[in-house]
Amino acid sequence: MAKMLMIGLTDSGRDSKVNEDTFSYLGRIYPDMISGHEEKSVTTSEYSQLYIVTEGFGGPAIGDLSGRVAQALSLEMSGRLEQYRGNTFDFMSFGQDFLTEADKRIKVQICNKTDQPAGISICLLLIEGNDAYVLNIGNTASFLFRDHELLRLTKPNLRQDGQPTVWLGQGSPINIAEYEPTTKHVVLTPGDIIMLATYSVHSAYTASEMKNAFMSPNAFAGTIRSIHNNSILNKETENHTTLAVKVQSLELSAVQAPIPDQLANQPVVPNPYQRPQRDQQQVNNNNFETVSWEHEPTKKMYNNIDYQSAQQAAAAAKDYSRQVRREEELNNQRGRDRMYDSYDYLGTDGRGKENPFATFFRFLLLGFLIGLVILLIIWFFVLS
């Protein structure tokens, strides 16, 4: 399983009354407000993780509602993922079923009630264990940043004038194969960043500018926030939505011990909690392209930059703690030394030795006060 860190950001734009974009993660749909800026982040290790970004059009109460119709359907289908699992996950069937049903619902619930064109572009990311599947239709796009290289996973379906060639709610059934590459399969590695973005975000950058933005020394959330916010410059009137996930760690498959000879002929009871083994040949024969890279040996694969940085930070924290303890012990020792030095001037009972002149003047003052009191008493009786 993949432990993921997610951040999602959306802006309605300065002059937009309604944000027609949406994004979702783990069953939550955003934005909560119809306008303004919203940002959400979460860390999760779920086996199945579904993230979606939609870009709606058609006007207030049309584009945004179309996106929420598709988001609601995705939540329904996320509870039926088991029917698409086998030796490999049949993402093509899942994607085709999702697009067909989402297109139908948007037409019935939204488009049939308005005379103007309406619908959504959509980019969907499904994490299944250590595998990522991406589906894109319309203006939206997805990117993968790995090993200091930026790759475009899916391209937007655009005409020369920048308008989408296909969208959900268009008016005819959508066949994924006609709009390839709209799907992608990626085997995840630690440190991978996958970003889903609407047209107003990804169109603000050239390939080199986007790569340089990902190379920022900022932390993951700061990098994505910077990419999102910089895309708004000079485009304040448009909706902007960005969602990105980063692979923090992966769970490796345990090595199975050899079966003893006396147990080899016994029936093996299948483990209902174990994911079926993947047939790599069948994966490669799928209708969508698998992105792969050459890697170092497995024992070094997980020594990524984040892990090394964490080790260095932990070592620095230990050294700092030791230094603080040493300084505290030294200060305590100095305090004890000062206390013992002060006792050299005190008697055995802890009080300072009496100064004879101070004693004389103290008793002299006391006698003067007592005499003054006696004179006042006598003077009182004489007057009375």
Q: What is the pLDDT of residues 20-68, one digit of tens each?
A: 999 999 889 999 888 888 999 999 999 999 999 999 888 777 888 999 9
**β-pair partners for 7:** 41, 244
Dig out the tokens for 285 from the structure: 């024969």
pLDDT over threshold 70, residue 342:
no
Residue pair 41/8 in contact (Cβ under 8 Å)? The answer is yes
Q: Does domain 2-251+278-306 bear CATH number 3.60.40.10? A: yes
Q: What number of helices (H) and strands (E) belong to the chain? A: 9, 13
142 burial level (CB within 10 Å; 0-12, 13-18, 19+)? buried
Average pLDDT over residues 256-277: 45
Q: What is the pLDDT of residues 262-272, one digit of tens each?
A: 444 544 444 44
Domain residue spans in the chain? Answer: 2-251+278-306
Quickly tell me which residue has 């969602």 as its tokens: 243
Strands 183-187, 290-291: pairing kind? parallel
At residue 278, the pLDDT reads: 45
Spatial CB neighbours of 284, under 8 Å, sequence gap ≥ 6: 290
CA distance 41 to 33: 17
Nearest to 17 by CA among 239, 235, 198: 239
Q: What is the pLDDT of residues 291-322, one digit of tens each?
A: 443 333 333 333 344 445 555 656 666 676 67
Residue pair 292/187 in contact (Cβ under 8 Å)? The answer is yes
At residue 308, the pLDDT reads: 54
pLDDT over threshold 90, residue 340:
no
CA distance 111 to 216: 42
- The CA–CA distances, whole Å, from 128 to 88, 204, 278 equal 10, 31, 12
Helix (H, G, I), strand (E, B) or coil at 346: strand
- The CA–CA distances, whole Å, from 3 to 8, 24, 127, 245 equal 17, 18, 10, 10
Percent of the chain with pLDDT over 90: 39
Is the pTM above the cut of 0.75? no
Q: What is the pLDDT of residues 163-210, one digit of tens each?
A: 788 888 876 666 666 666 588 999 999 999 999 999 999 999 999 999
CA distance 63 to 167: 12
